[in-house]
Amino acid sequence: MKNIILSILLISNLLLAYNSDDLKQVKDEGDCPKCDLSYADLSGLELSFSDLSDANLSHANLNRAVAHKTDFSRANLSFATFVKSNIKGAKFRGAILKNTDFYDARIWKADFTDAKIDRCDFNESALGSAVFENNNLSNSTFHGAILYKTVFKADVKGVPKAEN
Amino acid sequence: MIYSMLNRCLVLLFVSTAILFASGLHFEHNFDKAMQKAQNQNKEVMMMYSATWCPECNYVKEVVFKDKRVIKYINKHFVLLGLDIQKDKLPKGFNYMGIPTFFFINKDKKQTGEIVGGDKAGKFLKELKDLK
């Protein structure tokens, strides 16, 4: 019985995994809009100024990646991890950010307009001058985050209180 | 008599504390002048390369550099040099990937360390101490 369950899990993971051509493209060229990069390991990669809009990056590992001004608009970033990444000026407009982990990430001046933010971890991150508009932040955490001149538009729900 | 002396001491303590905190951090803006000053004071130069339009740089200047612990540590160990990316070229031999970058320079004009980016005062101070 155990073996059957493990096999099912393995097969379902394989089915969910990224497209290898897409992974090659993002590594070679950076730009990969609408690509399937789910479960991809992009940790530590230099992705600055890349276009990853509309991409499927769910469960992707972007820890310690450098992605200045990268366009993640409308991308699916559910369960993706950006731990200690440098994503200054990145665009997350309309992105799906469900259980996304931004722990200790540098997210200065990022744009979260219309992003679907749900249970995200922004603890210890630097969100100075980032823009939040039309989001619900009530079940996300911001402990120890830098919120210096962070912009929370009037329609944002659950605005975190600055701790510093 | 003792009461009067105690009063004077308290006033002196208050004034010196006020001067210390009011002084904060002083930026030099000329590399050679900063090097000379550091040599005279037996310190290293801490060179901050930044820009006025950079929120992270402004956070460091307006928040981190107002922290008493950071001020005390920098004043004790470094001569602070501020260069602006829009006005100043980096001295020969120094390169940067992003701003703010903090270069630590010894009396031979050699880089001894580097911090890229700003952080909260406590973490920034730890990074400074780790350089030593």
Domain for residue B52, yes or no?
yes
CB contact under 8 A, A144 and B59: no
Instruction: Centre a 10 Å sphere on the Cβ of residue B14 and count the other Cβ atoms it contains.
Output: 10
Q: What is the pLDDT of residue B4?
A: 65
The total number of structural domains in chain B stands at 1
CB contact under 8 A, A108 and B63: no
Residue ranges for chain A with pLDDT beneath 70: 1-2, 4-16, 164
CB contact under 8 A, A126 and B63: no
- CA-nearest of A96, A95, A59, A63 to A80 is A59
The domain segmentation of chain A, as residue ranges, is 1-164
Domain for residue B50, yes or no?
yes
Q: How many residues does chain A have?
A: 164
Q: Is the CB of residue A84 less than 8 Å away from at least one CB of chain B?
A: no
Fold for A1-164, please state it: Pectate Lyase C-like (2.160.20)
Distance CA A105, CA A64 (A): 8
Distance CA B89, CA B49 (A): 9
Q: What is the pLDDT of residue A162?
A: 76
Q: What is the mean pLDDT of chain B?
A: 89
**Beta carbons within 8 Å of B5's beta carbon, 6+ residues apart:** none
Domain for residue B41, yes or no?
yes
Report DSSP letters for B96-112, one per residue.
-SSSSEEEEE-TTS-EE
Domain for residue B73, yes or no?
yes
Share of chain B above pLDDT 90, in %: 80
What is the CATH classification number for the domain harbouring B126? 3.40.30.10
Q: What is the pLDDT of residue B19?
A: 46
Domain range for B49 is: 25-131
Domain for residue B55, yes or no?
yes
pLDDT for residue B22 is more than 50: no
User: Identity (one letter) of the amino acid at B71?
Assistant: I
Domain for residue B75, yes or no?
yes
Domain for residue B11, yes or no?
no
Q: What is the pLDDT of residue A17?
A: 84
Q: In this predicted structure, which of B2-16, B18-32, B99-113 has the lowest mean pLDDT?
A: B2-16
Tokens of B22: 């009011």
DSSP, collapsed to helix, strand or coil, labels residue A150 as coil
